[in-house]
Amino acid sequence: MNGTSTVLIVVGLFLVGGIISFAKQEMPKGLIVLLSLGAAMCLLAGILRLEVWN
């Protein structure tokens, strides 16, 4: 696990926490969807960068 994949996974998990918080505060759905897309991309990029797949 290198540094870049670790950072991407941590940022993705941080954004997931933001999604949960924004949903509880009943923020606009568009903002929650945007955050969800960003979190999914960060987590997917972090997982795909792991050296397990080689």
Using the predicted structure, report yes or no on whether residue 48 has a pLDDT greater than 80. yes
Q: What is the pLDDT of residue 3?
A: 87
Its pTM stands at 0.85
DSSP letter assigned to residue 25? T
> By the 8 A CB rule, do 2 and 32 touch?
no
Residues sharing a CB contact under 8 Å with residue 32, sequence separation 6 or more, in sequence order = 19, 22, 23
